[in-house]
């Protein structure tokens, strides 16, 4: 582990000497890490995207096989085989990336706490920021939170409600089932909506407490993730929310 952290520190020092500024060194370092992790990231995003596309088919299988778990599992495996999808393909790269992020967090925290690293004097100033201290203006934390909000909306699953139980039936049992279905749908939508805002808010809070150099790293990482997500699946939830906003504004103007 010490050899790895030492190598990362050497890279940061080299980038600092090359760029002449710690802020640009962190940005270059972030882009370098994203480039190294690019194959893993794109593999994970593609796998997650394929799994989202298969959700309607998986839903049909659940309706067809009901509580028969053995038949359901066999049918799902057959579906994955048919479309050449590995359900774990999206998880394993994420685990690797999480380990890398924890390592980088440790190295950056240690790096930003020093004024001299490997015999090189480190100037922590970048524009108005002292990268070794939290951003007292909260500009960078807010940018970090905003970029996280964009990413969260982009990857948010479709919020359309699937009408599994027909609403037209007048039977009391069916109507009761409809009430339960609508209740579950509303609860799921509410939880999804809450998570959409919780992560960006937590990002702002954490970025405001950590050294701004770490907040800068996190912001650039998130912006890169937005670009990669857009390359795989387009604007995703952004397009959905934009259409809703247009419809809402049109209805208000009438």
Task: State the Cα–Cα distance between residues 132 and 125, nearest whole angstrom.
Answer: 8
> What pLDDT sits at residue 78?
80
At 185 the pLDDT is 41
- What is the model's pLDDT at position 192? 52
Provide the pLDDT for residue 254.
62
pLDDT at res. 242: 67
**Rounded CA gap, 11 and 17, in Å?**
10
| Tens-binned pLDDT, residue by residue, of the chain (254 aa) | 677 788 888 999 999 999 989 999 999 998 988 888 777 777 766 766 777 777 778 778 777 777 777 777 788 788 777 777 766 555 555 566 667 777 777 888 888 888 888 888 989 899 989 998 899 899 999 999 998 888 878 776 544 444 444 444 455 554 454 444 444 444 444 555 566 678 888 889 988 988 898 889 889 988 988 888 787 777 766 766 666 666 656 677 66
Instruction: Give the separation between CA 207 and CA 144, rounded to whole angstroms.
Output: 7
Burial of 26 (C-beta count, 10 Å sphere; 0-12/13-18/19+): buried
pLDDT at 97 (0 to 100)? 60
Record the tokens describing residue 196, joined without a space: 């959409």
Gap between the Cα atoms of 115 and 120, Å rounded? 8
Long-range contact list for 93-96, CB < 8 A, 24+ apart? 93/40, 93/41, 93/43, 93/44, 93/47, 94/44, 96/40
């Amino acid at each position: 582990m010490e050899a790895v952290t030492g190598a990362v520190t050497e890279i940061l020092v080299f980038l600092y000497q090359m760029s002449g500024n710690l802020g640009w060194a962190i940005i270059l370092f972030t882009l370098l890490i994203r480039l190294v992790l690019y194959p893993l990231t794109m593999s994970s995003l593609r796998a997650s995207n394929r799994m989202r596309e298969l959700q309607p088919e998986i839903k049909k299988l659940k309706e067809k096989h009901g509580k028969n778990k053995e038949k359901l599992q066999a049918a799902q495996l057959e579906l994955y085989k048919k479309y050449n999808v590995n359900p774990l393909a999206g998880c394993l790269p994420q685990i690797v990336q999480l380990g890398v992020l924890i390592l980088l967090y440790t190295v950056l925290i240690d790096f930003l706490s020093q004024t001299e690293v490997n015999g090189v004097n480190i100037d922590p100033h970048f524009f108005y920021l002292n990268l070794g201290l939290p951003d007292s203006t909260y500009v960078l934390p807010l940018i970090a939170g905003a970029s996280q909000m964009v990413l969260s909306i982009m990857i948010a699953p479709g919020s359309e409600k699937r009408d599994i139980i027909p609403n037209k039936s007048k039977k009391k049992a069916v109507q009761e089932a409809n009430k339960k279905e609508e209740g579950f749908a509303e609860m799921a939508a509410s939880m999804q909506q809450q998570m959409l805002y919780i992560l960006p808010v937590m990002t702002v809070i954490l970025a405001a407490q950590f050294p701004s150099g770490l907040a800068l790293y996190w912001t650039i990482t998130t912006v890169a993730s937005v670009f990669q997500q857009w390359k795989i699946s387009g604007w995703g939830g952004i397009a959905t929310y934009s259409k809703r906003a247009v419809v809402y504004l049109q209805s208000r103007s009438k």
